[in-house]
Structure 1
Amino acid sequence: MRIDGLRTEELTALISQARLGDREAFGELVRRHRAQMVMWARRIIGDAVSAEDIVQDALLQTLQKLNTLKDPDKFVPWLRMIVRNRALMELRSTARARSAGWTGWAMDDGMDTEQTMHLAQQEVDLRANLVDPADTELKRQALAEFERLFERLGERERAVLQAHALAELPIPEVAARLGMKSGAVYTALSRARRKLSDANFQAQVSQYVTGRRQRGLQQSGIVSGARYHWFAAAHNTMAATILETLLATGVRNVSLTDVMGLSGHAFSLYATPDIGLSSAYAFDWAKTMRFGWSNLGYSAVIFGGAGLTLRQPDELIGAMEQMQDSIMRGTPIVAWNVASAEFGLICGFDDRASEWMVTDTTVSGKRLPYDKLGRNHPDAEWFAVIPGTRHPVSWRDTLNRVFVQAVRHIRGHEKAILPGCAVGLDAYVTWIEAFQESKIADPLSVAYHAAYTAEARRNAARFLQARLTDGTMNNVCREAEPAVHHAYVSYTTVAEAWAALSRLFPLPFGGNSLGPGPAERAVRLLERAVAEERQAVDALEEAADWLERKVGRS
């Protein structure tokens, strides 16, 4: 039996060790559950900073009351109850404080950082007789840690953070007191928060690495076969990295076309109103990865996703050990933005230097600090995928899933992760209107998307053709062969139209997408492509119906 990633016997052992005062055991319990505790607290309190405070207090209660827990199976509900009660107490105390007119520490005009920290220390000392001594000591340690992080800031950043975050003054008043413009205050706050976050991540990662060394775990590892091959120029880097991962683990009977088809990339199309570069990444990354790996016969452990950022060190540390274990097994990790804004591979690690070895279309074997994964820049998205165990797959079931998914997507029954982004057949309308109404944001973006979609539809045709010529369709559902052949012919025409559009607006120059001649020719090519795409989706739907009948009878 497993409880939130831990087997019951593992959890029992950790609880027993923690009861005896084993700090590492208690730390492991915290590491495994802290992110959940923050989520529980935030749902009640509604504020991320307050939620962190609540979790800190809840952890102290957990340590003090651990001996009262009789059944390890009930650890998570018991932990949730502690967090819930502490959060509700915080809500009630906040309400009482507001009714009494208390607004936190007041900041005198001349108060500096040292004085503010002194007030915080006084607050801890005043409560020393009301709480367990261990509670007070841990709070003193937390305050010392904050002071240490605070020293990383510049003088102006400290003053701004002290006034706004600690004294709770509004931005205009902070600006007036410090003789700054409001815009400069926002900039200083943003920079200070970023520095504090960086310092916190570095400290937590360093502690994790120290723990690995103390446990005698292997300090480095590399997947020597993880590299880009001839298809490194593929515009769809997610599909390319999936294939690279398979090749690195010794799989040789899968092609880029197979990956494009089985993951659904071959049949997808997204378009923002201005045909911006973000259109190529407007799909649900986690869902697409899970769908593709499952159809290839693998489970997948996924961290983060499109539009998600890495907020807490716990999220990164929770993923790191699994990633390092995967590398030791000889399986690289697919990740976003390891060197550039594309999908790449994490193919090695080095605890001594606290660095990953990463590879993508732009670099090979580059070093990336542990704490910068998912945090290369302030708005970086956090996404990493570890292929898991193999499971048997049936071509009949798999093709049915692929065709049904393709029909749903092309008919527009899925939503993009970007607001206003069109999907499937609706994306053709967006493309045509963009040319007719001169909405193109960037000629290079048009060139890239034309090449990207031409590659996708070319692989759609090849995928369907392969299932006809290798006997797959004949074996799994002979009745569906005519429909699959029809879809193959239609997608061949669609691919040709997109290839012609790509030649009209070639990479890396883009061409003149706003000129009347090229724009009119582009519209004619798109109208031809969408007519054939409608034929293709009808044929795929018919093939899916035949496969569904077979699946239902099997």
Structure 2
Amino acid sequence: MSSREISSSVSAVTDRGEAAEADRSQMLAERAQLGDTEAFGELIGQHRSKAKMWAERMTGDPHMADDIVQDALIRAFLQIGSLHDTSRFLPWLHKIVRNQANMRLRRGGPYKREKPFAAFGLPESEAGSVEWDDLDSVLFHLTRTAANEANNVHNPEESLMRKELYETIHSVLHCLNRKERDIFEACFFKQLSPDEIAAMYQMTTGSIYTYIHRSRQKLRQEHIRVSLGLLPDKGGKTLVKSKLLQLPEWPASDAVMLSFVDRIGHLLAAIGDRRESAELLGLSGFAFRMLISDKTTFADCIYMFDWRQKLRTFMKELGYEVSLLCGQLADSPVPLLGAVERFPVVLPIEEAVIPFIRKAIDAGKPVFYFDTTASRPYVHEWSLIYGYDDEKQSVRLTDVMKPDGKTLAYEDIANNPVRFLASINRIEEHEKPPASRSARDAARRHMAEGSIRQAIEHAKNPRAYRPMTVYLLYTSGLSAYERWIRHMRSDPAIPPNRYGAGQLAASYAQARTYAARYLRNVPFQGEAMRFALLASEAYEQAGEALGEFSAAVPFMRSAEVLSPEQCEKCAVWLEQAKAFEAAAIGYLEKAVDQLEKEKSL
């Protein structure tokens, strides 16, 4: 083969590769527009290096380029719906990166970055008395000059605002340690470059950028604290503490995929109230729950319920009252909007969350926490915070994929876009000596009957959960099976979400297995118990059909697309599961009717 033929062959292979990459990008962009966050993640993973290259080419600064790319990706995520031609995703992303880079380079006017203090215009008569190597001296003179101007000019508003700015900077600087403050002064006051500062301190340039970033974050949060009056004790001193609780072992046999219930079970075990997972799933209603997005097989429907109300009512039934801390951050992409849209908007300040954590852990109780940094293949899950360390500014918490747990910084907890923390206390009436055995049995029957009535009601209600956000719709109960089946048999050009389908199948298959276990142990008698056992058998078979689905589409993070043949097999298993679950609901209705007859005797 000649060199020309080899060159032509290589070019053809390259062209085919680029065409395949373009087709894949278009497919992922189309799925991302439908709300598929996993597809968006794959899309960004494919093009992040290009975005970094563009940003670095414009700025000549690799560290600034990282910040630009992060801002650009957030904007792309929020604006993906405005992309009219999905085949043009790469040029569209390039434009967003370019705009973000231009905005970053324009900040600070002629200084391109932060404006130096000298640029605020200190009068020449005052300049000679300033100790320019002492930031306190600079701020003192700037504040005094602004105050004098405010008293001597006819339009003092600008001078007063300047005075307030200088006083605020001075009041928040105590949050920096000595080294952070020295680097801060060198960068923002002396206007030295990071390379020059690195040479001064015999550090790497990357470390200097880390110090600058950390100082910015501290100053920003301290400014918020000062504005809200959240000041430290006199002298800036605070009591530094740490505590780590020893959680009881939580074997795989006790763990369930629905982490809302799983973490409640572990939390109760940590305070000496161990409960069977089947009991918790049954009493909470999650063993019988089914919800499917009207859009496609997104996994978000697992999380769509009223978190606050469900936690309060369920824990009250178990004998506990709940203290909640919840909210959503402003100007931040909030996951699971349909579940948290009613949460108040909150500020990302540590003082709003860390004292809550300290108080619960100091009392020997872990904190129930919604974690948006869960390890793959999960996106977010509930966890338990079981330790804190003021010196290291970090907490210790569980992670579904890390048996030994993990550590998060206080800053990460404060910046979680979804704030949901809860602590529990035993209700006084439940602390009394146990009632008679007959009274306890009656209470158990009442709770079991309530859970079964709840299961029947949910099965028959196709809209059990309605978000306020109009474009988010979910189908529930037995109707959810029909919705799911339609997704699997939809237009082959728009296949169902593969990652979500895997998590749904695994979660709901396990839930139905636990529904069967729960019903085998309800404290009924006679005909009511016979019908409960028949329902248990039907749920067992529904779980097996869903288990076949789960085995064929295992839960994992993947951009793989389900084939039409796979979709059809799964649809058949869903039809079988629906038939068994419909039979189970029929038996539960008969069990409730029998209980009503027994009451009337």
Q: Residue 77 of structure 1 aligns with which residue?
A: none
Q: Residue 368 of structure 1 aligns with which residue?
A: 408
Q: Residue 249 of structure 1 aligns with which residue?
A: 271
Taking the aligned partners of 1:198 and 1:217, their CA distance within structure 2 comes to: 18
Once the two structures are superposed, residues 161-185 of structure 1 have per-residue CA deviations (whole angstroms, 9 ceiling, x without a partner) of: xxxxxxxxxxxxxxxxxxxxxxxxx
Q: Residue 320 of structure 2 aligns with which residue?
A: 298
Maintained 8 Å contact 1:333/1:346: yes
Q: Residue 258 of structure 1 aligns with which residue?
A: 279
Q: Residue 382 of structure 2 aligns with which residue?
A: 343
SS of 1:266 mapped into structure 2: coil
| 1:237 and 2:259 are equivalent in the alignment | yes
- Same amino acid, percent of matched pairs: 23
Q: Residue 437 of structure 2 aligns with which residue?
A: none
When normalised by structure 1's length, the TM-score is 0.59
Taking the aligned partners of 2:407 and 2:269, their CA distance within structure 1 comes to: 22
When structure 1 is superposed on structure 2, of 531-540 and 352-361 the one drifting more is 531-540
SS of 2:464 mapped into structure 1: coil
Residues 512 and 324 of structure 1: CA distance in aligned 2, closer, same or farther (over 3 Å): closer
Q: Residue 271 of structure 1 aligns with which residue?
A: 292
Residues 524 and 138 of structure 1: CA distance in aligned 2, closer, same or farther (over 3 Å): same
Letter in 2 for 1:433: R
Q: Residue 422 of structure 2 aligns with which residue?
A: 385
Letter in 1 for 2:477: G
Q: How does 1:123-202 map to 2 (within 5 A)?
A: 144-145=167-168, 199-201=219-221
Residues 509 and 222 of structure 1: CA distance in aligned 2, closer, same or farther (over 3 Å): closer
State which of 546, 549, 553 in structure 2 corresponds to 1:498.
546
Q: Residue 405 of structure 1 aligns with which residue?
A: 454
Residues 370 and 482 of structure 1: CA distance in aligned 2, closer, same or farther (over 3 Å): same
Q: Residue 473 of structure 1 aligns with which residue?
A: 524
Q: Residue 352 of structure 1 aligns with which residue?
A: 391
Letter in 2 for 1:301: S
State which of 498, 506, 519 in structure 2 corresponds to 1:464.
519
Taking the aligned partners of 1:330 and 1:387, their CA distance within structure 2 comes to: 11
Between the two proteins, the alignment pairs up a number of residues equal to 393
Q: Residue 346 of structure 2 aligns with which residue?
A: 311
Letter in 2 for 1:430: R
| 1:420 and 2:420 are equivalent in the alignment | no
Maintained 8 Å contact 2:384/2:398: yes
Taking the aligned partners of 1:226 and 1:138, their CA distance within structure 2 comes to: 55
Taking the aligned partners of 2:234 and 2:264, their CA distance within structure 1 comes to: 29
Taking the aligned partners of 1:214 and 1:280, their CA distance within structure 2 comes to: 45
Residues 396 and 265 of structure 1: CA distance in aligned 2, closer, same or farther (over 3 Å): same
Maintained 8 Å contact 1:345/1:359: yes
Taking the aligned partners of 2:218 and 2:596, their CA distance within structure 1 comes to: 52
| 1:334 and 2:368 are equivalent in the alignment | yes
Residues 358 and 310 of structure 1: CA distance in aligned 2, closer, same or farther (over 3 Å): farther
Maintained 8 Å contact 2:399/2:406: no
Residues 532 and 353 of structure 1: CA distance in aligned 2, closer, same or farther (over 3 Å): same
State which of 482, 490, 503 in structure 2 corresponds to 1:448.
503
Q: How does 1:469-548 map to 2 (within 5 A)?
A: 472-474=523-525, 480-508=528-556, 514-544=562-592
Maintained 8 Å contact 2:463/2:475: no
RMSD after superposition: 4.7
Taking the aligned partners of 1:385 and 1:265, their CA distance within structure 2 comes to: 19
Maintained 8 Å contact 2:506/2:547: yes
Larger radius of gyration: 2
SS of 2:346 mapped into structure 1: coil
CA drift at 1:460: 0.9
Residues 492 and 290 of structure 1: CA distance in aligned 2, closer, same or farther (over 3 Å): same
Maintained 8 Å contact 2:463/2:474: no
Taking the aligned partners of 2:260 and 2:234, their CA distance within structure 1 comes to: 31
Taking the aligned partners of 1:120 and 1:409, their CA distance within structure 2 comes to: 65
SS of 1:427 mapped into structure 2: helix
Letter in 2 for 1:427: A
Once the two structures are superposed, residues 473-504 of structure 1 have per-residue CA deviations (whole angstroms, 9 ceiling, x without a partner) of: 23xxx563244233212211211111111122
CA drift at 1:356: 1.1
Maintained 8 Å contact 2:243/2:387: yes
| 1:431 and 2:484 are equivalent in the alignment | yes
Once the two structures are superposed, residues 504-553 of structure 1 have per-residue CA deviations (whole angstroms, 9 ceiling, x without a partner) of: 223448898743433222222111211222232343345456667889x9
Once the two structures are superposed, residues 422-442 of structure 1 have per-residue CA deviations (whole angstroms, 9 ceiling, x without a partner) of: 222232122111111144443
Residues 504 and 211 of structure 1: CA distance in aligned 2, closer, same or farther (over 3 Å): same
Once the two structures are superposed, residues 247-290 of structure 1 have per-residue CA deviations (whole angstroms, 9 ceiling, x without a partner) of: 211223x1121221122221112222220232222222223322
Taking the aligned partners of 1:224 and 1:370, their CA distance within structure 2 comes to: 20
Q: Residue 34 of structure 2 aligns with which residue?
A: none
Maintained 8 Å contact 1:505/1:513: no
CA drift at 1:404: 3.0
SS of 1:373 mapped into structure 2: helix
Letter in 1 for 2:512: R
Maintained 8 Å contact 1:349/1:355: yes
- Structure 2: 5+ residue stretches without partners: 1-107, 123-141, 153-158, 189-213, 328-338, 375-379, 431-439
Taking the aligned partners of 1:486 and 1:137, their CA distance within structure 2 comes to: 78
CA drift at 1:452: 1.0
Taking the aligned partners of 1:362 and 1:432, their CA distance within structure 2 comes to: 30
Letter in 2 for 1:384: L
Letter in 2 for 1:267: F
Residues 113 and 209 of structure 1: CA distance in aligned 2, closer, same or farther (over 3 Å): closer
Taking the aligned partners of 2:240 and 2:110, their CA distance within structure 1 comes to: 53
Letter in 2 for 1:280: I
SS of 2:418 mapped into structure 1: coil
Taking the aligned partners of 1:212 and 1:356, their CA distance within structure 2 comes to: 26
